[in-house]
Chain A
């Protein structure tokens, strides 16, 4: 255990780069980041202040990177990082942070606190201080290929249903296809309608696409828990499969953190650039719409609002595309008060949804989203992340709300010119 702790400290030490050094040097402890964090605003517990969640890393930085810290260490005046610090901060690091990045948008000195917490998790994970649910999900992802234990056999069964319902053939391992499409386990298990929508949209737009039997899972538990090796392995599987199939593009599904992992972190994890492009499904759909390849008809009369998934919008840069798409299918689109890059998280990102012990806190802080939703006066909530969708539905059930949650991709599919689905 001591050896594991020391390895964790060493990994934490390795995370302190120029960015993090500048962040700690700039922080004046103003506490403004607390105002941006739903875990603080909904509980008023000061321990949930984002920068406070970084005390273990700050302690190490101060001792090894500052004059007073080094001087104090020589004279035994300041305490080194202890295993108890890891134990005390584990819940703050994993249960009360969704890596949503809202705090990073508000910090007056520009600290990317989310980046720091993401890095701090690397040390915690190696030291063994991570939630059991996330550890198990990572093990399953490495062993089976999916954090939820979904195998290709399961996907095939879902695809068979889609083929039966749509009359379309789903291309598997088709070499030379333009697009290789990924899914999240949640989409396969909970929302197979998403797969059907993709098949129908791609058929209508004349897209050459395929699914890899070797790498269909887009989620990456390694990134959420902070295990660099696991994260790199999961990304590498996708990259190898895409290279074998010689595709031009890999399509990230609606899932938010999957996009961050394959689009932004992936090349850095495996240490090389991809020979293909990564596009988010919303980027692709908006591009197809703009190019006239995605023909939509009719608009839903039901007023709709949009929940911006943090990793796709704030941390991913896909901001306008969902709005452009909604504009094509919704007659009345009502923006939330804090929308786009300042939207409030659903409360289940960053692995919190895979962390059973965090559930009561997650449901409590959902009150922020509830208020945000109620302010719009709209009962139909569109989103583009399977994880957000599940968390939103759980919150809506918990608070006995009447809101319906729908996927943007599925909504678009319902309005295809040659669509067979009923429109509202």
Chain B
């Protein structure tokens, strides 16, 4: 009964909240508007925006030790999670069945395990850093911790479900993923989408000035 609810209506509801919520957040941001820049540009705003959207993913060598740790942990977590989300066979099968109607190439089992380990390592490093560093302790709020905890639990139950192959574990994993989807648009997790805007705005401004940002 509960399993059917998690597999059926709750999945549809959480997906709807996620999609509508994300679109609503993005539209809300755009509707705040920007004043047109009347200064004469030295360079191209669009080239600057595109460049910065990608270049901010490149390792920043000028950051000190703590910054290096943050960047490396960030790479591990994001690359690992991306691989898990879009190239793990159980996920691709799920998307094909529930959303897209078609599947795509998946990664081998060893790559799945490696991706999970990298993602876990990255997330734990970032979380430990958040808890220990005086800077992130001062900055962090409930949302920062809640997002980390939810992602961690989704990943953990996903791995357990894969290892144990129990239906109950699969349902717990799906339930947590649904909770994450519902929470997503109202949280910091929105940076998954808004980073393109923030990088783009800065890149455009700096691009007009002829600065590679």
Quick check: B203 and A110 within 8 Å, CB to CB? yes
Interface size for A (C-beta < 8 A) is: 61
Q: Does B144 sit at the interface, judged by CB under 8 A?
A: yes
By a beta-carbon cutoff of 8 Å, the part of chain B in contact with chain A is: 25, 28-35, 37-40, 42-43, 52-53, 56-57, 60, 62-64, 66-67, 70-71, 74, 126, 130, 133-141, 143-144, 185-186, 188, 190-191, 194-195, 197-203, 205-206, 209-213
Given known A-B contacts A41-B64, A108-B56, A316-B209, A21 and B28 have beta carbons under 8 A apart: yes
CB proximity of B34 to chain A, nearest CB, Å: 5
- Chain A 40-60, CB-CB to B under 8 Å as 1, else 0, gives 110010110101100000000
Quick check: A104 and B213 within 8 Å, CB to CB? yes
Q: Does A117 sit at the interface, judged by CB under 8 A?
A: no
Q: Which residue of B lies closest to A16 (CB)?
A: B32
Q: Report B-chain residues with C-beta under 8 Å of the C-beta of A25.
A: 25, 29, 190-191, 194, 197-198
Q: What 10 pairs between A and B have smallest CB-CB spacing? A: A110-B199, A317-B210, A267-B38, A31-B135, A317-B209, A22-B197, A35-B67, A29-B139, A26-B198, A25-B194
Q: Which residue of A lies closest to B200 (CB)?
A: A110
CB proximity of B17 to chain A, nearest CB, Å: 11
Q: Report A-chain residues with C-beta under 8 Å of the C-beta of B206.
A: 112, 317
Quick check: A68 and B139 within 8 Å, CB to CB? no
- Since A66-B186, A68-B143 are in contact, a sample of 13 more A-B pairs with Cβ atoms closer than 8 Å, ordered by chain A residue number, is A19-B34, A22-B201, A23-B198, A29-B139, A30-B70, A30-B126, A31-B139, A32-B71, A49-B138, A108-B56, A110-B195, A265-B39, A317-B206
Given known A-B contacts A22-B197, A268-B39, A273-B40, A35 and B139 have beta carbons under 8 A apart: no
Q: Which of A31, A266, A314, A342 contacts B136 (CB 8 A)?
A: A31
Q: Report A-chain residues with C-beta under 8 Å of the C-beta of B198.
A: 19, 22-23, 25-26, 109-111
Q: Report A-chain residues with C-beta under 8 Å of the C-beta of B209.
A: 264, 315-317
Q: Report A-chain residues with C-beta under 8 Å of the C-beta of B60.
A: 32, 106
CB proximity of A417 to chain B, nearest CB, Å: 30
Q: Considering the chains assembled together, what is the distance between the CA atoms of A277 and B60 in angstroms?
A: 35
Quick check: A268 and B29 within 8 Å, CB to CB? no
Q: Report B-chain residues with C-beta under 8 Å of the C-beta of A21.
A: 28-29, 32
Q: Which of B31, B71, B134, B191 contacts A46 (CB 8 A)?
A: B134
Q: Does A271 sit at the interface, judged by CB under 8 A?
A: yes
Q: Which residue of B lies closest to A35 (CB)?
A: B67
- Can you report 7 A-B residue pairs in the complex whose CB atoms are below 8 A from each other? A17-B34, A17-B35, A18-B201, A51-B139, A109-B56, A317-B211, A319-B211
Q: Report A-chain residues with C-beta under 8 Å of the C-beta of B31.
A: 18
Q: Does A399 sit at the interface, judged by CB under 8 A?
A: no
Q: Considering the chains assembled together, what is the distance between the CA atoms of A22 and B196 in angstroms?
A: 9
Q: Considering the chains assembled together, what is the distance between the CA atoms of A49 and B137 in angstroms?
A: 12
- Chain A 212-247, CB-CB to B under 8 Å as 1, else 0, gives 000000000000000000000000000000000000
Q: Considering the chains assembled together, what is the distance between the CA atoms of A32 and B195 in angstroms?
A: 15
Q: Does A105 sit at the interface, judged by CB under 8 A?
A: yes
Given known A-B contacts A16-B32, A41-B64, A46 and B137 have beta carbons under 8 A apart: yes
Q: Which residue of B lies closest to A274 (CB)?
A: B40
Q: Considering the chains assembled together, what is the distance between the CA atoms of A34 and B52 in angstroms?
A: 20
Q: Considering the chains assembled together, what is the distance between the CA atoms of A49 and B135 in angstroms?
A: 7
Q: Considering the chains assembled together, what is the distance between the CA atoms of A74 and B66 in angstroms?
A: 40
Q: Report B-chain residues with C-beta under 8 Å of the C-beta of A34.
A: 135
Interface members, chain A 147-180 (any B CB < 8 Å): none
Q: Considering the chains assembled together, what is the distance between the CA atoms of A30 and B141 in angstroms?
A: 12
CB proximity of A367 to chain B, nearest CB, Å: 14
Q: Considering the chains assembled together, what is the distance between the CA atoms of A311 and B105 in angstroms?
A: 49
Q: Considering the chains assembled together, what is the distance between the CA atoms of A195 and B199 in angstroms?
A: 41
Given known A-B contacts A21-B32, A30-B70, A338-B62, A109 and B191 have beta carbons under 8 A apart: yes
Q: Does A389 sit at the interface, judged by CB under 8 A?
A: no
Q: Does A272 sit at the interface, judged by CB under 8 A?
A: yes
Q: Report B-chain residues with C-beta under 8 Å of the C-beta of A18.
A: 29-34, 197, 201
Given known A-B contacts A18-B30, A29-B141, A341-B211, A268 and B56 have beta carbons under 8 A apart: no
Q: Considering the chains assembled together, what is the distance between the CA atoms of A29 and B146 in angstroms?
A: 13
Q: Report B-chain residues with C-beta under 8 Å of the C-beta of A314.
A: 211
